[in-house]
Structure 1
Amino acid sequence: MSSTPVAGRPSYAVVLRVPHARRTFAAALLARLSYGVVPLSVMLAVTRATGSYAVAGTVMALFSGTSVFLSPARATLIDRHGPRRVLVPMTAAHASLLCLLTVLVWRPGVPSLALGAVTAAAGACTPPLGPTMRAVWGRLAPDRALLQRAYSLDGVAEELLFVSGPLLVGVLVGVAAPAAGIAFGTALMLAGTAGFVSSPAVRAIGPGPGRGGPDRPGAASRGVLRGIAQPVVGAVGVGLALGAVDLVVVAFAGQRGYGDNAVAWTLAALSAGSAVGGLLNGAVAWRVPARTRLPLTAAGLGLALLAAGLAPGLGTLAAALAVAGCFVAPALTTAYLVADEAAAPEARVRAGAWVNTGVNAGSTGGAAGAGLLLGGLPTALCFAAAGGAALLTALATARSAPERATAGGARSGLRPPIVQPED
């Protein structure tokens, strides 16, 4: 990127030395660990309480659906009223509903309708801590190069949370009922959010200028959405590919007689590659504009998935997926960067939430599509379909990139960087 460096080339250590960064980031990660703990705990607890996989699947669909698709609405509230005014009551409502769900599933025999209603409401109140933390990074980072590293660090940490969360649930259910996992995830959310909103970096963020009055007309709001079309499309495409890959790997292993452990390690290779790619992406001082890098990373993901379809065994498949993973975190980090560049300062949380929603919606669609394809196609062609989705995304995002985009969004007229005083 072409932004002015901070003390030479900024590193991850420089990111964590930014005033209030460590405290705020650690608290946000503690709360976000709940995202990796609660869903699996809910699924296991509901399955045990009802004895029905169909009910468990429906409950999880309601929980994830309201959480994902209402995320932009919750982010809009934070942009308008400030994170402290919104996150405190939102987290309280989310935690209260999860506590109620814990009580309901502790013993068998709970009505399915009650479970669905409580989980749907809990999902609707899920605090958007990821988009909010990325908006805070936008205020803490002195320039675009440092912000790139902050986003990369955030993305890699989030990837590790979604790997470690289910592992913690696995340990917990070995000594307690699955409902205890819901309670544990609720405690993580409460403790982490309390630390996050009490951070000076978050306390300094007040309500946005637009609260439905004449200073924030509808045309301006629609302009924000037009500005983030490219990163949202990119996020949807990456989500489509990843959602399909998860299910295709399960089918690949099952057809060759491998067990569930083999599936887990194969998908772990994808996550490991993503973590490595994210760290490398953040360490490079890019001179290529972010809007140009986005289709390139999507294309790299697509080509790697095409190669995965040629894998003869699980070992070579894991290697191919590790290579594919090297493009995942960079693609998503770049999408968040582009969205942050395009959004007005008072709409950062909402812009990040739309990218996040795009990833999750794409993942849901990719899993559904893979389920249909696996009924009549070999896994090689299913991998090719996932790769093709990523390549089409690369084409779509390349066409939507504005010609005047530059390496630093601030220099293309999107918005100026926010400069923090030095230590």
Structure 2
Amino acid sequence: MSSSAMAPSYAAVLRTRYACRTFGAALLGRLSYGMVSLSLVLAVKEATNSYAVAGTVIALFGLTSVFLSPTRAGLVDRYGPRRALLPMATAYALLLTGLAFAASWSGVSGVLLGVLAMTAGASTPPLGPVMRTLWSDLVPDKRLLQRAYSLDAVAEELLFVTGPLLVGLLVRVTVPSVGLAVSAVLVLTGSLALISSPAVRREVGHKKPSAVPASSEGLVSTVRPAPLRRRSLQGGPGLRQAIAVSAGVGMCLGALDLLVIAFADEHHAPEAVAWVLAALSAGSAIGGLIYGAVPWRASSRLRLSCLAAALGLTLAATGLSPHPYVLIAWAALGGLFVAPAITTAYLIADEAAGPASRTQAGAWVNTAFNAGSSGATAATGLLVGRLPLPVCFALAAAPALLSAATALNHSRRPAAVTAALPEREGTSDTERVPLNG
């Protein structure tokens, strides 16, 4: 049964042909990403007995993974998931296994661990962007695509909660380096299962423009008109908005992690940290599921501006909490806007990008989020202790508010400009399209 014939529901998304198999494979591989960071920190700390070395190694791993993500996604767009993912996943799994063996030696060189971590980060397979590109073809009906992206965002949120819990269970029964080995097995198994899916074998997610005859698939990049080719790589204002808001949301959340710890210390309630972060994740999951079920009539770009503004205002108000219990409530409220904002950013990126660069467009959104989170965490560390916490919370909220204001301004372009833009599958990135949940 085609997705277009189904009622718009989460069950309908999962009943779509090949959806469960493909999504399950991607989630299995992405569980590795929820485990690897904590496993790496614990393994390096045990091997070197140095928090400084552990921090440096994880920073090298994260930087190469985040900033090379669009490049790796571009390879997927160019060569297809089957040809690009296999070498990446194999190299990544082998390097993680090498890290696990190296970290099992007491007194191992921190330089060796850093080189292995940096190389592993550079080869991280972009399973998230690939899956989101596959969703846009598995579920071509726009009524279901919003639900598919919401489901994907919620599942990813839960993976990053489940992953550290699994690492905690592992370290109770074995050494931390085993967590790295398990991460390697998960990513390789998930990647192999993903590329063996019929959805990938028929190269769903790597479609060429419909205007080009099937016999000309190998010549698409040369026969497409030059203006459209340039636009497909740039993505236009829609993609820039998605990247800007994603970075703003990432900065809010990166700052919040550290601010919550400082708030708990100030109120002598260290146990509140776990509850606040759990409330944020729970709110995000609930918000994502609700958001995906609503038949929105406002344009996706206007919705993204409103979501970013709501998150920023909530975070600013969170800094005025008089008690950790109030902070928990505000965190749950703010979480309601996180998954919807990221979901909408990915939807806009998919609509704005050209057919040959959709995986790369999604990777840019993901990179912006992670880079914003890392940068804000570092910046917040310099502010905490020098400024009152309410001021720090307000400053942490500023990126989301500014990105929302900028995006709102871009979404009000003259109609003549909007009409001049090329459409993808009958939908421009500024067109008001009802996305029935």
TM-score (norm 1): 0.92
| Counterpart Cα distance in 1 of 2:235 and 2:241 | 12
Cα deviations by residue, 1:280-306 (Å, 9 ceiling, x for unpaired): 000001111101100000011011112
Q: Check whether the contact 1:338–1:409 (CA below 8 A) recurs between aligned residues.
A: no
| Counterpart Cα distance in 2 of 1:266 and 1:230 | 29
Q: 1:228 aligns to what SS in structure 2?
A: helix
Equivalent of residue 33 in structure 1, options 28, 31, 34: 31
Within a 5 Å distance, the mapping from 1:17-166 to structure 2 comes to 17-166=15-164
How large is the Cα RMSD of the aligned pairs?
2.2
Please tell me whether residue 232 in structure 1 is matched to residue 243 in structure 2.
Answer: yes
Distance change in 2, residues 1:329/1:409 (3 Å):
farther
- Cα shift at 1:361: 0.6
Instruction: Give identity over the alignment, percent.
Output: 54
Distance change in 2, residues 1:7/1:245 (3 Å):
same
Equivalent of residue 194 in structure 1, options 183, 192, 195: 192
| Counterpart Cα distance in 2 of 1:226 and 1:116 | 38
Please tell me whether residue 289 in structure 1 is matched to residue 308 in structure 2.
Answer: no
- Cα shift at 1:62: 0.4
What is the match of residue 434 of structure 2?
none
Q: Check whether the contact 1:341–1:415 (CA below 8 A) recurs between aligned residues.
A: no
- Cα shift at 1:373: 1.3
Q: Check whether the contact 1:80–1:210 (CA below 8 A) recurs between aligned residues.
A: no
301-310 or 210-219, which moves further after superposition? 210-219
Cα deviations by residue, 1:347-383 (Å, 9 ceiling, x for unpaired): 1100100000010011011111211111311211111
Equivalent of residue 269 in structure 1, options 279, 283, 286: 279
- Cα shift at 1:336: 0.3
Distance change in 2, residues 1:164/1:252 (3 Å):
same
Give the residue type in structure 2 aligned to 1:398. L
Q: 1:75 aligns to what SS in structure 2?
A: helix
- Cα shift at 1:223: 3.1
Equivalent of residue 246 in structure 1, options 233, 257, 271: 257
TM-score (norm 2): 0.89
Q: 1:311 aligns to what SS in structure 2?
A: coil
Please tell me whether residue 400 in structure 1 is matched to residue 426 in structure 2.
Answer: no
Q: 1:346 aligns to what SS in structure 2?
A: coil
What is the match of residue 322 of structure 2?
312
What is the match of residue 343 of structure 1?
353
| Counterpart Cα distance in 2 of 1:303 and 1:58 | 34
Give the residue type in structure 1 aligned to 2:379. G
209-218 or 372-381, which moves further after superposition? 209-218
Please tell me whether residue 371 in structure 1 is matched to residue 381 in structure 2.
Answer: yes
| Counterpart Cα distance in 2 of 1:365 and 1:84 | 33
| Counterpart Cα distance in 1 of 2:196 and 2:392 | 47
Cα deviations by residue, 1:166-225 (Å, 9 ceiling, x for unpaired): 010001100100000001111111111111110000111158668996447673454336
Please tell me whether residue 362 in structure 1 is matched to residue 360 in structure 2.
Answer: no
| Counterpart Cα distance in 2 of 1:167 and 1:409 | 42
Give the residue type in structure 1 aligned to 2:45. T
Give the residue type in structure 1 aligned to 2:256. V
Gaps of 5+ in 1: 417-423
Q: Check whether the contact 1:238–1:390 (CA below 8 A) recurs between aligned residues.
A: yes
364-373 or 65-74, which moves further after superposition? 364-373
Q: Check whether the contact 2:85–2:125 (CA below 8 A) recurs between aligned residues.
A: yes
Gaps of 5+ in 2: 209-216, 432-437
Q: Check whether the contact 1:67–1:123 (CA below 8 A) recurs between aligned residues.
A: yes
Cα deviations by residue, 1:97-137 (Å, 9 ceiling, x for unpaired): 11111110002111111111000000000000000000000
- Give structure 1 regions of 4+ aligned residues with deviation exceeding 2 angstroms: 5-9, 206-227, 400-406, 408-416
| Counterpart Cα distance in 2 of 1:409 and 1:313 | 50
| Counterpart Cα distance in 2 of 1:135 and 1:389 | 27
| Counterpart Cα distance in 2 of 1:246 and 1:219 | 39
Distance change in 2, residues 1:409/1:324 (3 Å):
farther
Please tell me whether residue 331 in structure 1 is matched to residue 341 in structure 2.
Answer: yes
Task: Work out the number of aligned pairs and report it.
Answer: 410
| Counterpart Cα distance in 2 of 1:347 and 1:43 | 34
- Cα shift at 1:410: 4.6
Give the residue type in structure 2 aligned to 1:339. A
Q: Check whether the contact 1:82–1:207 (CA below 8 A) recurs between aligned residues.
A: no
- Cα shift at 1:411: 4.3
What is the match of residue 420 of structure 1?
none
Q: Check whether the contact 1:240–1:363 (CA below 8 A) recurs between aligned residues.
A: yes
Q: Check whether the contact 2:232–2:353 (CA below 8 A) recurs between aligned residues.
A: no
199-208 or 393-402, which moves further after superposition? 199-208
Q: 1:345 aligns to what SS in structure 2?
A: coil
| Counterpart Cα distance in 2 of 1:212 and 1:63 | 36
| Counterpart Cα distance in 2 of 1:70 and 1:246 | 25
